[in-house]
Chains A and B, each alone.
Chain A
Amino acid sequence: MSVAPKREDYDVVVIGAGPAGLAAAATSAEAGLATLLLDENIGPGGQVFRAISSTPVTDRNQLGTDYWVGADLVQALRAGNAEVIHRATVWSLDRNLDIAVSIGGASAFVKAKRVILATGALERPFPIPGWTLPGVMTAGAAQTMLKSSALVPDGRTVIAGQGPLLWLLAAQILRLGGRIDRILDTTERGNYVAALPHAFAFLTSPYFTKGLSMMREVKAKVQVVSGITELAASGDGQLASVSYVAGGKRETIPADLLLLHQGVVPNVNLAMAAGVEHRWDDLQLCWSPVLDASGSSSVAGIAIAGDGAGIGGANAAVVRGRIAARAAVEALTPAAAAKLPAMATLRSDLAKAERGRVFLDTLFRPAPQFRIPAGDTIVCRCEEVTAKDVLDSVAIGATGPNQLKAYRRTGMGPCQGRLCGLTVTELMAQARGKTPQEIGYYRLRAPVKPITLAELAAVPKSEDDVKAVVRG
């Protein structure tokens, strides 16, 4: 069932079949370039358009029109000649544009003239006390189950956090007959004032009216508590209750399911492992790659499109995918670029899609206490390292995330820092009185997802490869 790539060399390899990757691969193939699209999931769509070709939620109003845009992108891709492989996990990309990909338990290797990384975003860590308890999940996790399997919460459910996805998810759960007992809004009061100067751009963006009507839809059915300043999950081996402080008053409510969300951040692992330069983004509070206007990174031949290039949302991701693909076409077969929409048109599409983003980033900037935990709260879920452990290590000389590995193994578990990296950087920066940029991030390396030694050992080897490592 698993199919290896048909060729060893491609003009363009796109990694990730979300909004950016679908658009990039379709554009590249349309221009006649040999295009390979590799994606880790079962089908196309990434997270925003998850299960777009297979969702059992067939009533179009329930997932909303913004979701079904994804079907057009998939159709455009399928109309062309791009080779598409799902359940394909790329575990290495280097400066020579050599790619290693694990498909069905075996690794294949391909080389590209241009690589477009469309590895998207993941939800920002939400390290509150008890966030590792069974019954605590991300809002995105619930949305994934809703889209791909029409599953909705039916126990006592609390949604906590902030940001557009939280309200969209709540609306979708209610439309499908699911249960939400309470929404705890963690947006800081001061953010409303800070965001005000950017409000005009947002008022004229398509997100404004949609967002407002969705919040109205949810608030009519669910009790919403705003101004949450503390949040904790507790239970013995399973979530039993959620406690919070709002307006100085503490309340504890029984719960079977707690869904957390405080925005999304670029999924940087593959790009960083390939050597792409990243910088700390003070507005979005995450690492973003350093890119030119076409999405080209500091590594020749590697471009980044979509939310992996800095959070911009699905509409911006689609346009960034087209821009990165057009730049690849211009570089490889300039004549074919004439068939594609002009770069100026694409850039104006992008400006439109990004309108209002600064407002959202400012309004939904997560509060420090939900980013930088204290005491026994777990920071690194894989190695079960607490905030106190990290601070103790700083006190005896750990200077940054990489030194911390030697002290505590943070970031060395299977998730490779995806769920703790930002927390560790900000926690250490605060403890040492430095900026996150000065503290830095984990040094990421291939394999960016775990593969077995057996799979590595089964990789075809030339005589030279064997000579290089065998003694005598």
Chain B
Amino acid sequence: MKHTTHARSNRSKVLLLALLFGLGVVVAACGGGGDGDGGGSSSGGEGSDLSGSINASGSSTVAPITIRAAELFEDESPDVAITVNGPGTGDGFVQFCSGETDISNASRAIKESEAAECEEAGITYTELKVAFDGIAIMTNPNNSLECVTFGDLYALLGPESEGFSDWSDGQALADELGGSNSFPSAPLEISAPGTESGTYDSFIEIVLEGIVEERLGEDASAAIRTDIPGIAEDNVIIQGITGSDTSLGWVGFAFADENRDTVKALQVDNGESGCTSPTVETIADGSYPVSRPLFVYVNNEKAAANPSLEAFIEFYLNDGYTSAVTEAFGDSGYVELPDDQLQEAKDAWANR
């Protein structure tokens, strides 16, 4: 009796182990190509013998650029491990200034308080402007509207416009905010990206956030009207704009520019440089207001100590640059720097 039960429990242990091992083998058989394939996909870069790891964090808006640059770099130098996280610009600087990260992605320049923290920790860094996050505000070419102010956009799309279904509904609010347009009495058909899109966040941060804070206080419950249809596909947003004569919406500038024949990109006036159309030039010189520069901050000491980090930034600003910026979301991306500004970034990196 004792013998048989012992044999039995032993056999059951073996069986349990065998099953768990089998589970592992099946999973490994499915995924086992991982190391082999991973190395194999770098067929073009057998010359590189760089190895090391790089850690980037910061803005989730900039992360796609750095991720695209990183994956192209890793294709050439498979032994370099680049990890990119996107908790937000502010959180990114906290990590950066405590020496946790090598690279900090930022959708704004570093604040004085943050710079002071870096200095306190003895961290020196190089600021590199890498791209522009430009947003085109669009309507149908048949709409006679030409130029809008941030106030107009707030009146039509801000949290106080919840429920407005007609352009004229926003008139009173727009007048109050100093607008000079007279909106037509026509259906307001909004065609815009949803929360999963970086462009949605960027629009709020660039256009609406300032007015929201001014009017509703910092702890306002919403920064945008919540009854807009969140459209995931840029194509579908364009279709929505062309589908109605009195539509209103926004997409990333690069995508609107490709469709400039079918949609009208509105001029925008925020009181500084008058009504300005979005073009590569007005975005690059900063006169088009619905746009912001995107930055990458690099820790100088870590770059000096880590050849793979130095090589990665070189790649980022040179061979990988265009692809990283314009293919950040796969098929679309951000606005590239004009040559002189890109050269400035390269010089800043060289003279760090």
Do chains A and B interact in one complex?
no
* A interface residues with partner B (beta carbon < 8 Å): none
